[in-house]
Structure 1
Amino acid sequence: MNRFQDHPVFVSEDALPQPLSSAELRDLRKLLDREKQRQSIANIGELSGRADGKVNYANLAERIYRARRDRERVFDDSIFADPAWDLLLDLFIRSERNEQVSISSACHASSVPEATALRYLKVLTEKKYVERISHPNDRRSTTLRMTPLGTNLMTEWLEHFRANR
């Protein structure tokens, strides 16, 4: 037996792989796209998970919030505006982390003018998704946090988002 017969130089043309047809290339691309999507979904789960195996919804919400800010770096940000959603995401993240959120900080997180953000905060407060908390030592200072209703709705949405990605 010739030890060189399996070397590519000595293989007959019939044994060489044939170029893929356009249909085979299309199918291969679909498979690769599905695999990328599957890995992306797995990464969302990993990045939003906790050591105890429970979902860290604050991390998942933060990824969504950051993706929205990244989008504004690429596209003209004047075509995107959803201040209520940005406010809810930011307040949810920071409430879950037991952080104090000033009104000015929340307005900044909404990426819209302060007057617009304040109007949305009023609506979110009226809907009982967000509440204003007076500072116990300084009556001039007010902070914001998610209400239990707002937290439950956001958690429900994030779970639905995570499950359907």
Structure 2
Amino acid sequence: MVKNHLLRDSGRSTGFPDRDLALSNARRTARRRLLRRHIVGSRKYLGEPAWDMLIDLFIQHCEERKIATGDLCVSSALPLSTALRLVQRMCDDGLIRKIADTTDGRRQFVELNPDLAWRLLAYFGTPIDD
């Protein structure tokens, strides 16, 4: 719980990664990965669907938005059944967790494990030299 608070307020205190920089870098990475996929024309040569999902989850986390399991699967560019198995494996490994939608019993949301969110903040909060 404390780390989640620090994630929102990071950058205001010395020693913590800059949340705005991290979000900007994550968005930039996601755009470049999508562009790369379009340039090559096939995802089979550029496959890191789990990383694509984690980037998407990190962006949603920083924006304090929820993402449904099905929407997360779209970001992987995998067939739905394959993407759902990948989501389940990441849940089983403790990287992400599913949360029931209280308004629609058919839907579940997915979020990052707080510790992984913190580590991704540190990763994306590092300035990128191009």
Q: For the Cα contact (< 8 Å) 1:129–1:151, is it kept in 2?
A: no
Gaps of 5+ in 2: 1-11, 13-17
Q: What letter is aligned with 1:61?
A: A
TM-score by length of 1: 0.62
Higher relative contact order (CA 8 A, sep 6+): 2
- CA root-mean-square deviation: 2.3
- Which whole-Å CA distance do the structure 2 matches of 1:137 and 1:66 have between them? 32
Q: Which residue of 2 aligns with 1:96?
A: 62
Match for 1:137: what amino acid?
T
Unaligned runs of 5+ in 1: 1-51
Q: Which residue of 2 aligns with 1:81?
A: 47
- Partner Cα separation in structure 2 for residue 149 and residue 99 of structure 1: 18
1:157 to 107, 123, 128: 123
Query: Following the alignment from structure 2 to structure 1, what is the Cα–Cα distance between the partners of residues 125 and 63?
Result: 18
- Matched residue, 1:68: 33
Partner of 2:3: none
Checking the alignment, whether the CA contact within 8 Å between 1:61 and 1:158 is kept in structure 2 is yes
What is the CA–CA distance in structure 1 between the aligned matches of 2:74 and 2:28, rounded to whole Å?
18
| TM-score of the two chains, using structure 2 as the length reference | 0.76
How many residue pairs are counted as aligned between the two chains? 114
Measured in 2, the distance between the counterparts of 1:130 and 1:122 equals: 9
Residues 93-132 of structure 1 aligned to structure 2 (within 5 Å): 93-132=59-98
| Moved segments of 4+, more than 6 Å | none
Instruction: Indicate conservation of the 8 Å contact 1:110/1:117, yes or no.
Output: yes
Tell me, in whole angstroms, the C-alpha distance in 2 between the residues paired with 1:112 and 1:141.
Answer: 20
Paired-residue identity, %: 22
TM-fit CA distance, 1:144: 0.8
Partner Cα distance (1:130, 1:123) in 2: 9
